[in-house]
Amino acid sequence: MKKTFITSFFMIGFTVAGFSQTINPINTALMTKAQVFTNEVMLNCHSSHSNDSMQFIANAEILTRIEVTTESYQSAETYKLLSTVALKNKCNPSLTRDELNFNPSNFNPLKYFLNWYPGTITKYRVDNTNYVIIVHPKL
């Protein structure tokens, strides 16, 4: 009986531990990136969002659904061009667009009014490049 109880206790413990990791897959590096990107966009705003851990978590979740890939241009493609997406520069007027010097390793998608909650995969073409920004739907 005691052995069964101990076994059950450990099984439940491992299940709960595994489940909690599944629920919150956001790691420290991603949280740091979300914080840096959020702070860049919110630089001069002294609102509740400028240093809000919940905002960082929400933005980290968005970053998990962003993918930058390369794809040759197709004449029939209907991807929206990044240059046509508004820049979130109300709080930080010195934000710059990325079309002329796009670098996927330091691209901050939070600077743009992209559709963060699409029903299907949404793609944006970085003007005059093979780079495509993919926003995956939230599961």
For the chain, the domains span 2-135
Over the stretch 4-53, which tens digit does the pLDDT of each residue have? 544 443 344 433 344 334 445 568 899 999 999 999 999 888 665 556 78
- 110: Cβ contacts below 8 Å, ≥ 6 apart: 34, 37, 38, 40, 41, 59, 62, 63, 88
Number of neighbours of residue 10 by Cβ within 10 angstroms: 10
If you average pLDDT over every residue of the chain, what do you get? 83
* pTM of the complete model: 0.77
Give the contacts of 1 (CB within 8 A, at least 6 positions apart): none
Among 41-50, 73-82, 85-94, where is mean pLDDT lowest?
41-50
- pLDDT computed for residue 99 by the predictor: 87
pLDDT confidence of 102, banded at 50, 70, 90? very high
CA distance 64 to 84: 23
